[in-house]
Amino acid sequence: MYLILLIAIGLLGWLVQWNLNSKFKKYSQIPLGNGMTGREVAEQMLRENGITDVTVRSTNGTLTDHYNPANRTINLSEGVYASDSIAAASVAAHETGHAIQHAYAYAPLKMRSALVPVMSFSGQWVTWIILGAMILLGTGSQLGFPVAIAGIALYGIITLFSFITLPVEINASQRALAWLSSAGITNSHNDSYARDALRSAAYTYVVAALGALANLLYYIWLFFGRRD
């Protein structure tokens, strides 16, 4: 049952990622209308929100856009930074939404940032610890279950991080869409495109959270099922 669930979520994740890439490609071909690039959209949104200590930079790759709170930079991918498309404006405004969250100490973002070091440690070691637990349990060692519990705890942190990420991303998109409309960057003709683009991106985080939860439940069932 759990295996079927994991396969289903994996397939759903593939479909959602394919949909995101398809939508990004589609809306990257539709000009914004006012000629503003992703960089200009981000810079104007920062100014209008009174933020002067954040820099907008270009970064390599596709859909590698992110806000870095450590050095206060909005990093826009090559297809966003210099593009004047609907997709570029939407992504740039979304990442700027994260900068605004940081400036105003948005609680879920603070929680996620606080979890980053623990998340990094968990992501680095959880696979090895769970594998070690399986080997120990397979040999009948009494250390198997304590190690399994440690692995489940680490994966629990990963799952928690995934779910805390949801309100952070959704709120950033809400801020982006509200500002794009109020600033006149989008209009009645292309606002729905921006919403569709950011909604497609949000689905990837939903699927990631569900996948993490499914994996966590599977490990709990696997180890505690063995114990029974």
Q: Which of 40, 43, 95, 169 is catalytic?
A: 95
**Largest Cα–Cα distance in the chain?**
68
Token pair belonging to 135 = 């080997």
Burial of 122 (0-12, 13-18, 19+ CB in 10 A): buried
40 a catalytic residue? no
CA distances from 34 to 38, 85, 102, 105, 224 (A): 12, 10, 28, 32, 59
| Active site amino acids | 95
